[in-house]
Amino acid sequence: MGASKEQVETLLAKYWSPEQVEGRRKLEGDPPISRMTIYRYLYSPRGAGYRKYLRGPGKKKRATRKSHSRIHNQTMIDQRPEEAESRKVAGHWEGDTIQGQTRKEACVVTLVDRATRYLIADLLPRCNAESVNRSVPQFADSGLPFKTVTVDNGMEFASHAKLQKKIATPIFFAEGRNPWQRGSNENTNGLLRQFFPKKTDFAAHSSAQLRWAVELLNNRPRKCLRI
């Protein structure tokens, strides 16, 4: 890779994939380096130290048993405005939580903008509705546009009526066992799991560590955004 080796290594250390490195160099008019060249480097003795930044193969998910029967007065996703479907206007968010060692212990609440794929996240001391309702309003008060929020059927969103009043934003629910209806959020949560694997004890992590991971993801190129 010659003189470009240091630049490629810098991007790999930011958890960029070889495909993202290749695409960014092409976009900025730098001398081309194919992803296969980068992979060959990673699996050579000289590049072995950078393999730790690659995403590992994902594990198959078990069927979840999140119950939504106890969540009352839900407004379902089919009533969400058409503007949210287009992904052309910022401010339509998809939300969920990333569980820790158990469903009731510390976790992370995540929101992803459907148009920009921008991620915001916060550490919660307990994975329950009370914690979610304390955390999410800070995002709505930060100056970011909030037009709608679409969440899954986890009981941490059971107090959605109170949350909706706090953030002055309508909340919609995806249909059960249809994670594709929050595809941006599901995909981004998978990326965040690279830094916080399954059974992570979030109580042992700081907000600064979470912000570091979120910043890395928000500054990586996204193929869907052509950046």
With CA atoms as reference, report the closest residue to 15 among 48, 51, 44, 43. Answer: 51
Over residues 106-114, the mean pLDDT reads 97
Cα 139 to Cα 79: distance, rounded to the nearest angstrom: 24
pLDDT digits (tens, 9 = 90+) for 138-174: 999 999 999 999 999 999 999 999 999 999 999 999 9
pLDDT digits (tens, 9 = 90+) for 9-26: 999 999 998 888 888 888
CA torsion, ordered 11, 15, 18, 22, to nearest 10 deg: -40
User: How many helices and strands in the chain, by DSSP H and E?
Assistant: 8, 5
Superfamily in which the 77-225 domain is placed by CATH: Ribonuclease H-like superfamily/Ribonuclease H (3.30.420.10)
CA torsion, ordered 177, 178, 182, 185, to nearest 10 deg: 50
DSSP secondary structure string for all residues of 161-203: HHHHHHHTS-EEEPPTT-GGGGHHHHHHHHHHTTTS-TT--GG
pLDDT at 65: 47
Q: Where do the domains of the chain lie?
A: 2-53, 77-225
Residue 47 predicted with pLDDT over 50: yes
pLDDT digits (tens, 9 = 90+) for 52-67: 998 765 555 554 444 4
% residues pLDDT > 70 (the chain): 92
Cα 18 to Cα 10: distance, rounded to the nearest angstrom: 12
pLDDT at 131: 97
